[in-house]
Each structure stands twice: as C-alpha cells, then as structure tokens.
Amino acid sequence: MHSYSVQDVERLLRLSRSTIKGLIDGGFVTPARGPRRQYRFSFQDLIVLRTARALTEANVPSRRVRRALEELRQHLPETAPLSGLSICAVGERVVVRDGPSRWQVDDGQYLLALDVVVEQGELHVVERKEPAREPASTAEPQDWFDRGLELEAAEPAAARAAYERAVDVDPANLAAWVNLGRLLHEQRKMIDAESVYQRALAACGPDALLYFNLGVLLEDMRRPAAALEAYQSAVVEDPSLADCHYNLARLYESFGKPQHAIRHLGQYRRLLTGG
C-alpha cells in the first residue's frame, strides 16, 4: 500500500508542517513510522487531515469534528479510487461521492469541497476554488510564497519559480527557502537543493529545520559524514528535534560509535515519552 511523507502532505494538501504536527498531536491521525522514524501517511490520513483542517477553520466544535472524522474514516477506501472521490458540504451534511455512489457524514455547518483524483498513477487531493492569479509585479514575498503553495501539486516548475521570486524579494523568507529546497529534493535535483539550503543558511542564519533537511538530502546523496555534521548542527539549534536525534543515532551506529549512538537514541526516546 502506498504511503506519503510529510513533504508529500505539504505539497498535496498545502498544509504547513506546524499544522500537520498540530493535527497529529490532536489525535486526528496516527501516521505510521518509516525506517528513519519519519512519518508515513496513508491515503485515508490525507483525507482526514484535510477535512480536519477545514472543520476546525470553520469553528466546528472538536467533539463534532472527531465524530465526523471517525465516520469518514470508516467509509473511505484505503487507496484513491480510479473513479475519483469528492467530498463536499450539502446543508449540514458532508457528502462523499465515490464514482456513482454517495454517502453522508453527520456534522455541523461549514464549507468543504475536496476532490481526490488519480492522473497517470499520481494522487491529487485538491480544494476546489478560484484559479490562482499571478501576483502583481509589486507583490509581497508572502504573495509569491502562497502562489508556490497553490502550484506545487499541479505545476511544480511554476511553484519553484514562485519560491525563487519570494526569496529574491525577501532573502530572509525562511519558509520559502525550506519549500524550495524540499521541492528540488523531491524532483531529484540534489545539487540544486544543496545549493538552496546553503544559500538559505547564509541568508537566514542557523536554523534547525534547514540543517535537518540538508542532512536528509546529504544522506540521499550518499554523503553520511556531511549528513552527520548537518544533523549535529540541527540539534545544536533545537535539542528537542527528536527525529534528528534518531538519525544521529543511526549514523553513529553505522560509523561504529555505539556510545554516541546510545546517547542520541536515549535522547530520542526521552523526547518521545516526555521524560
């Protein structure tokens, strides 16, 4: 069964990493863990995440949100149906259409309109709304950043251009740098992604997320020593970054340094348990 990374969720659903973490912490989804302890989301998780965000933004009470999501998850298929899937609000009911079939989820009043389709084997989860407009030449960095988010799923090249424009206008736009580097990494443009992260560190200064993403990239480039250095820098900036401690433990083990590995693995476990 196919699963999705945090980066996939950010790209497909246009949710920020902090929003995703908040929905996980709130118990709306319980994603699995990959070999590096990174989150792996199912198709059902994607739909539940996006629906939870829409309901909470509409100020639907948490109790009603949870009840609706529990019912929604029971009816969702495990994978994206080839016939497509639509979720929309009709009065006070959530109506899900799976091909010719329709069913309802009991909940409060809000607006929700999602489409889930498969095109050439790729899943797309989109919110139906007006087409994105090109920002004016005098647009603020946030306008270019928002445009990048809107375009990632359908037009990654245009999204990349938008993020590049955002950091050109405001070199201290950390979120745009992070998304640009991640997008290039996903496209397997490894050298370009490394350059972006290095430029971002020069422009924004030390940042835990930049160092962590750089470490993951360097591991994928088969440069474990450089990745180790990046992860070390990340935990200096944010010692509470649990996944970074896990990756450090794994790398130290591979380098034959069990004492260092045990220390970071212990820190990882303490952060998970709150001990």
Q: What DSSP string describes 145-163?
A: HHHHHHHTTT-HHHHHHHH
CA 70/CA 47 separation, integer angstroms: 12
Count other C-beta atoms under 10 Å from residue 241's C-beta: 21
CA 73/CA 89 separation, integer angstroms: 17
Closest CA to 158 of 188, 137, 194, 133: 133
With contact defined as beta carbons under 8 Å apart, do 167 and 177 qualify?
yes
Q: Tell me, what's the pLDDT at 222?
A: 93
* Domains of the chain, start order: 6-127 (1.10.1660), 141-273 (1.25.40.10)
Q: Tell me, what's the pLDDT at 158?
A: 87
SS3 144: helix
Q: What is the pTM of this model?
A: 0.54
CA 240/CA 262 separation, integer angstroms: 16
Closest CA to 121 of 78, 79, 184, 76: 79
Pair of tokens at residue 38:
């990174």
**Residue 275 to residues 50, 240, 268: CA-CA distances in angstroms?**
32, 12, 10
Residues of the chain below pLDDT 50 = 80-85, 89-94, 98-133, 136-137
SS3 58: coil
CA 218/CA 194 separation, integer angstroms: 8
